[in-house]
Structure 1
Amino acid sequence: MAQQVFPGRFTASPETDTVTVFLIGMRANRWWKVAKTFRIVAAMPRMLNHLAKNPDAGMLGFQQWLGRTTILLSYWESPEHLQRFAADRGAPHLAPWRAFMKETAGTGDIGIWHETYQVAAKDQETVYTDMPAFGLAAATRRVAVGHGTGTARQRLGR
């Protein structure tokens, strides 16, 4: 599906004081163990569908890249929203995580990783030139680069 490209230069303009950035992924260390890898991979679409249907869970948006090592970049209202989702027995995360820890963790077959950052909105800088809606601008608000936001230094507010 083709995405609409927005000609020009844009930046993200979150309407909150902070943004939580969450990176998560996996690595198929033993890619030939296809069935095990597929079970782990199959859990993520269920989680993303749940989050899309439940905006109160706090995920603002995401981008995903697939390969032997995957990465999902997501933006959240707060670390508390992310942690609440991760621990929610009614959400589709906790059960697959527990199954992974019981059946796969420590075998070396599949690696799982994540990183969480809480960023003050004033301390982030973004620019998107001739791009579809992407990243933080897609998750929050995309605005045209203009007077006072033409350089990275200006966008950082320094």
Structure 2
Amino acid sequence: MSRVVPGRMTHQYDGELVVFHIGMQINRPWRVDQWFPAFMAMPRMLRELMSDPGSGLLGSHVLLGAGGPYVVQYWSSIDKLYAYAAAPEQAHRPAWTAFNRRARKAAGAVGIWHETFLVERAESIYVSTRPMGLPGATRVVPIGSRHDRARARLADGRTTGAAEPAA
């Protein structure tokens, strides 16, 4: 487990940034045959992506929502996200095909959803936490006095919350 970074921190990242949320909703918990294979597919995909530095996946967090598990992913480009989703030799495409085949046999037993955000600007603050979220996927930097307020960090654009340059 990573260590707690004391103090007021933010993230720093230059370039395209994509935030991708993907999850499942377990509508019929007794239909384990429907939701368990979908549940098990995501860890395989995340391992595959994290083992390939060129995949474009910068980081991810698995969370539990009201309807079931979901993952927040951070990507270096929309093109890399879409390339992974469409690649027949990668884990996603066969898992998606298998999900659709199972879903036709038991419509509504489990749902899948995703949301894709192309981030123009982002602001973050993390006080005495382990690296997570944007700093966990990009770079953790201390908040300088010029960026003490959320409005100032957001106004800074792509390099949100960047530490002040050395004099």
Q: Which residue of 1 aligns with 2:159?
A: none
Q: 2:50 & 2:152 partners in 1: Cα distance?
A: 33
Q: 1:45 & 1:63 partners in 2: Cα distance?
A: 11
User: What's the CA shift for 1:15?
Assistant: 2.3
The answer for unaligned runs of 5 or more in structure 1 is none
Q: Does 1:115 align with 2:115?
A: yes
> In the TM superposition, what whole-angstrom CA distance separates every residue of 1:126-154 from its partner, at most 9, and x where no partner exists?
01111100111111111001121100000
Q: 2:47 & 2:132 partners in 1: Cα distance?
A: 19
Aligned alpha-carbon RMSD (Å): 1.4
Q: Which residue of 1 aligns with 2:146?
A: 148
> In the TM superposition, what whole-angstrom CA distance separates every residue of 1:33-78 from its partner, at most 9, and x where no partner exists?
1232111111001100100111211000001113642120010011
Q: Which residue of 2 aligns with 1:37?
A: 35
List structure 1 runs of 4+ shifted beyond 2 angstroms.
none
User: What's the CA shift for 1:102?
Assistant: 2.0
Q: Which residue of 2 aligns with 1:92?
A: 91
Q: 2:47 & 2:98 partners in 1: Cα distance?
A: 20
The answer for unaligned runs of 5 or more in structure 2 is 157-167
Q: Which residue of 2 aligns with 1:131?
A: 129
Q: Is the 8 A contact 2:23 2:69 kept in 1?
A: yes
TM-score, length basis structure 2: 0.87
Q: Is the 8 A contact 1:23 1:72 kept in 2?
A: yes
Q: Which residue of 2 aligns with 1:23?
A: 21
Q: Is the 8 A contact 2:19 2:117 kept in 1?
A: yes
1:23 maps to a residue whose letter is H
2:133 maps to a residue whose letter is G
Q: Is the 8 A contact 1:15 1:140 kept in 2?
A: no
Q: Which residue of 2 aligns with 1:69?
A: 68
Percent of pairs identical after alignment? 38
With 27-36 and 82-91 compared, the bigger mean Cα shift is at: 27-36
Q: 1:138 & 1:125 partners in 2: Cα distance?
A: 14
TM-score, length basis structure 1: 0.92
Q: Secondary structure at the match of 1:116?
A: strand
Q: Secondary structure at the match of 1:104?
A: helix
